[in-house]
Amino acid sequence: MSNIKNISRRSFVKSVGLASGGLILACNTPVFSDKDKKPENLVDFNPNLFVQLNSDGSLILIASRSEMGNGVRTSLPSVIADEMDADWSRVSVQQAVGDKKYGDQNTDGSRSIRYLYEPMRKMGAMARVMLITAAAQKWQVPETECSAENHFILHTSGKKIAFGDLVEIAKTLEIPSEENLKYKSPKDFKYIGKYLKGIDAKEYGNGSAIFGLDKRLPNMKFVAIARCPVTFGTVKSFDKTEALKISGVVDVIEIPRIEKPFGALGGIAVIATNTWAAFKGKEALKIEWDFGDNQVYDSDQYMNQITENVHKQGKIGKDLGNVNNAFKNAAKTIESTFQLPHLAHTPMEVPNAVAWVQGDSCEVWAPTQAPQSTRKEVTDYLETTEDKVTINVTFLGGGFGRKSKPDYVVEAVIASKTINAPVQVVWTREDDIKHGYYHTVSAQYLKASLDKNGNVTGWLHRFALPSITSTFMPGVDYAAGFEISSAANVPFDIKNLKVEIGQAPAHVRIGWLRSVINIPHGFSINVFADELAYAANKDPLEFRLNLIGNDRIEDTKDPIKYNTARLKNVLKIAAKNADWGKELPEGHAFGLAVHYSFYSYVASIVEVSMKNNKVKVHNIYTVIDCGIVVNKNTVTAQMEGAAIFGMSLAYYGKITAKNGAIEQGNYNDYKMIRMNEIPKVHVEIVESTENPTGVGEPGVPVIAPAIVNAIYKITGKRYYNLPLSDYDLV
Distance CA 197, CA 178 (A): 31
Distance CA 132, CA 172 (A): 13
Distance CA 389, CA 353 (A): 14
Mean pLDDT of 238-258: 98
Distance CA 636, CA 70 (A): 11
Distance CA 360, CA 377 (A): 14
Q: Could you report the per-residue pLDDT of 497-544, keeping only the tens digit for each?
A: 999 999 999 999 999 999 999 999 999 999 999 999 999 999 999 999
> Which letter, b or e, does each residue of 378-405 get, where b requires 16 or more Cβ atoms within 10 Å of its Cβ?
bbbbbebebeebbbbbbbbbbbbbbbbb
Residue 136: predicted pLDDT: 98
Q: Could you report the per-residue pLDDT of 431-473, keeping only the tens digit for each?
A: 999 999 999 999 999 999 999 999 999 999 999 999 999 999 9
Mean pLDDT of 687-711: 97
Distance CA 402, CA 397 (A): 11
Q: DSSP 3-state helix, strand, coil percentages of the chain (rounded to 5)?
A: 35, 25, 40
Residue 559: predicted pLDDT: 67
Mean pLDDT of 209-213: 97
Please say whether the dihedral angle defined by the alpha carbons of residues 51, 56, 58 and 60, taken in this order, is positive or negative. Answer: negative
Give the residue with greater pLDDT, 43 vs 70.
Answer: 70
Q: Which sequence spans correspond to the domains of the chain?
A: 13-206, 212-292+351-426, 299-343+437-727
- The top-level CATH class assigned to 299-343+437-727 is alpha beta
Please say whether the dihedral angle defined by the alpha carbons of residues 309, 310, 313 and 318, taken in this order, is positive or negative. Answer: positive
Residue 21: predicted pLDDT: 52
pTM of the model: 0.94
**Model confidence at 373: pLDDT above 60:** yes
Residue 49: predicted pLDDT: 57
Gyration radius (Cα) of the chain, Å = 27
- Domain 212-292+351-426, CATH: 3.30.365.10
Q: Could you report the per-residue pLDDT of 78-133, keeping only the tens digit for each?
A: 999 999 999 999 999 999 999 988 888 999 999 999 999 999 999 899 999 999 99
Distance CA 46, CA 427 (A): 36
Nearest to 621 by CA among 632, 631, 607: 607
Mean pLDDT of 140-167: 97
Nearest to 240 by CA among 287, 277, 290: 287
Residue 654: predicted pLDDT: 98
Residue 26: predicted pLDDT: 60
Chain centroid, CA 298 distance in Å:
29
Domain 13-206, CATH 3.30.365.10 — does that match? yes
Confidence category of residue 597, pLDDT binned at 50, 70, 90:
very high
